């Protein structure tokens, strides 16, 4: 892992985390327990803070950043940020799946128990209501999420990444 202090801020981590050798974590980044940051993922807290809860997985090629002095990034617990997603200066509550290649722009709020579909683009200030699936460009609500998707996808993926991380430790 490339770990870099910048402007007097150094990343802080909880217990039982996994970091791929070529993951990059810079600056004012704070994450909880059982998080994982995978290959070629970048979490860059150089211009504003990035806070992540427990059981967050940042998959291969994903980027988490913020906007200087304006929009920090806050991520709750049990969140999966899939391959090549971009999460920028927004708030993601608990139990959220951000699909592969999705883009979440500044000042978006993703409420709990939601799915952002693969390839979706959430433009600035989009608010995703709890229990919904957003898809498309620009992303719009496509349907309400079922209990089966909450347990079968959101929770399953977050739990699976704890298991996968164990294979690498």
pLDDT of residue 150: 82
CA distance 106 to 123: 8
Tokens coding 127: 């608010």
In the predicted model, residues of the chain with pLDDT beneath 50 are none
Provide the 3-class DSSP secondary structure of residue 26: strand
Any idea which fold 2-168 has? UDP N-Acetylglucosamine Acyltransferase; domain 1 (2.160.10)
Going from N- to C-terminal start, the domains of the chain cover: 2-168
Global confidence as pTM = 0.96
Buried b (16+ CB within 10 A) or exposed e, 125-134: ebebeebbbb
- For the stretch 39-60, pLDDT in tens is 999 999 999 999 999 999 999 9
Between the alpha carbon of residue 74 and those of residues 29, 56, 86, 93, 144, the distances in Å are 10, 12, 14, 8, 24
Which of 22, 23, 74, 24 has its CA nearest to residue 48? 74
**CA–centroid distance for 152 within its chain:** 19
């Amino acid at each position: 892992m490339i770990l870099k202090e910048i402007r007097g801020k150094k990343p802080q981590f909880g217990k039982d985390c996994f970091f791929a050798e070529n993951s990059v974590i810079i600056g004012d980044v704070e994450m909880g327990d059982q998080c994982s940051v995978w290959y070629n993922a970048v979490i860059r807290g150089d211009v504003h803070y990035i806070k992540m809860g427990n059981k967050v997985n940042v998959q291969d090629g994903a980027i988490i950043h913020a906007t200087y002095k304006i929009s920090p990034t806050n991520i709750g617990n049990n969140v999966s940020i899939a391959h090549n997603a971009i999460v920028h200066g927004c708030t993601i509550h608990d139990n959220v799946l951000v699909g592969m290649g999705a883009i979440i722009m500044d000042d978006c709020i993703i409420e709990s128990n939601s799915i952002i579909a693969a390839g979706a683009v959430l433009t600035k200030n989009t608010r995703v209501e709890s229990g919904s699936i957003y898809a498309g460009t620009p992303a719009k609500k496509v349907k309400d999420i079922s209990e089966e998707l909450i347990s079968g996808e959101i929770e399953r993926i977050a739990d699976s990444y704890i298991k996968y991380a164990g294979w690498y430790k």
